[in-house]
Amino acid sequence: MTPKKNAFTSTASRRTFLTKAGAAAATGFAMPYIIPSGVLARDGQPGANDKIGVAGVGIGRQGSGVLGSAVKSPKTRFVGIADVNLPRAKQMCDRFGGGEAVQNYHDILDRSDVDAIVTATPEQWRVNICVEACQAGKDIYAEKPVSFTILEGRLMTQAARKYKRVFQVGSQQRSMQTNILACQFIRDGGMGKVHKVYVMRYPSPYDCALPAQPIPEGLDWDMWCGPAPLTDYHPELYVPRGKPGWLSFKPFSGGEMTGWGAHGFDMVQMALGMDTSGPTEVWVEGKEFKAPTVSEPTRNVEPNVIANDPTVYWKYANGVVVEMEEGYLNQGGKPPGRVPGFGGIFECEKGTATIDRGKFTTDPPELAKEALKNRGKEYSHVENWLDCIETRESPNADIEIGHRSATVCHLGNIARYENRSLKWSPDSERFEGDESANSHLDYERREPYGLPTV
Q: What is the mean pLDDT of residues 138-164?
A: 98
Residue at 132: amino acid letter? E
Residue at 108: amino acid letter? I
The three-class DSSP label of residue 145 is coil
| Of the listed ranges 44-48, 142-146, 331-335, 357-361, the one predicted with least confidence | 44-48
Q: 23 pLDDT exceeds 80?
A: no
CATH superfamily of 12-173: NAD(P)-binding Rossmann-like Domain (3.40.50.720)
pLDDT at 44: 33
Alpha helices in 277-398 (DSSP H): 301-307, 366-371, 381-391
Q: 337 pLDDT exceeds 60?
A: yes
Q: What is the mean pLDDT of residues 58-76?
A: 94
For residue 122, list its beta bridge partners: none
pLDDT tens digits for range 235-253: 999 999 999 999 999 999 9
Q: 347 pLDDT exceeds 90?
A: yes
Task: Of 77, 161, 68, give the one whose Cα is nearest residue 111.
Answer: 77
Strands 422-425, 430-431: pairing kind:
antiparallel
Taking a C-beta distance cutoff of 8 angstroms, is the pair 39, 390 a contact?
A: yes
Region label for 114, one of left (φ > 0), alpha (ψ between -120 and 50) or beta (otherwise):
beta
Architecture of domain 178-375+399-441: 2-Layer Sandwich (3.30)
Eight-state DSSP code of residue 173: G
Q: 7 pLDDT exceeds 70?
A: no
CA 431 to chain centre: 22
Q: Residues in the chain, how many?
A: 454
What backbone phi and psi angles, to 5 degrees, belong to 43?
-60, 125
Domain boundaries, the chain: 12-173, 178-375+399-441
Q: 444 pLDDT exceeds 80?
A: yes
pLDDT at 366: 98
Q: 169 pLDDT exceeds 90?
A: yes
| Rounded alpha-carbon distances, angstroms, from residue 425 to 210, 280, 281, 361 | 38, 6, 8, 33
Bigger pLDDT: 8 or 287?
Answer: 287
Eight-state DSSP code of residue 248: G
Taking a C-beta distance cutoff of 8 angstroms, is the pair 52, 38 a contact?
A: yes
Taking a C-beta distance cutoff of 8 angstroms, is the pair 159, 143 a contact?
A: no
Q: Look up the pTM and report it.
A: 0.89
Helix, strand, coil percentages in the chain from 3-state DSSP, rounded to 5: 35, 20, 45
pLDDT tens digits for range 184-228: 999 999 999 999 999 999 999 999 999 999 999 999 999 999 999
The Cα diameter of the chain in Å comes to 68
Confidence of residue 397 (pLDDT cuts 50, 70, 90): very high
pLDDT at 50: 87
pLDDT at 72: 96
Q: 138 pLDDT exceeds 70?
A: yes
Question: What is the DSSP code string of 39-104?
Answer: TS--TTS--TTS-EEEEEES-SHHHHHHHHHHHHSTTEEEEEEE-SBHHHHHHHHHHTT--EEESS
pLDDT at 301: 87
Confidence of residue 326 (pLDDT cuts 50, 70, 90): confident
Bigger pLDDT: 336 or 42?
Answer: 336
pLDDT at 351: 98
pLDDT at 15: 34
| Of the listed ranges 188-192, 327-331, 361-365, 400-404, the one predicted with least confidence | 327-331
Residue at 386: amino acid letter? L
Q: 45 pLDDT exceeds 70?
A: no
Eight-state DSSP code of residue 410: H
For residue 81, list its beta bridge partners: 56, 101
Q: Compute the distance between CA of residue 431 and CA of residue 424 in angstroms, rounded to an integer.
A: 5
Q: Compute the distance between CA of residue 338 and CA of residue 327 in angstroms, rounded to an integer.
A: 6
pLDDT at 324: 96
Burial of 217 (0-12, 13-18, 19+ CB in 10 A): exposed
Q: 342 pLDDT exceeds 70?
A: yes
Q: 383 pLDDT exceeds 50?
A: yes
Confidence of residue 334 (pLDDT cuts 50, 70, 90): low
CA 118 to chain centre: 12
Q: 38 pLDDT exceeds 70?
A: no
Confidence of residue 3 (pLDDT cuts 50, 70, 90): very low
pLDDT at 259: 96
- Average pLDDT over the chain, rounded to an integer: 89
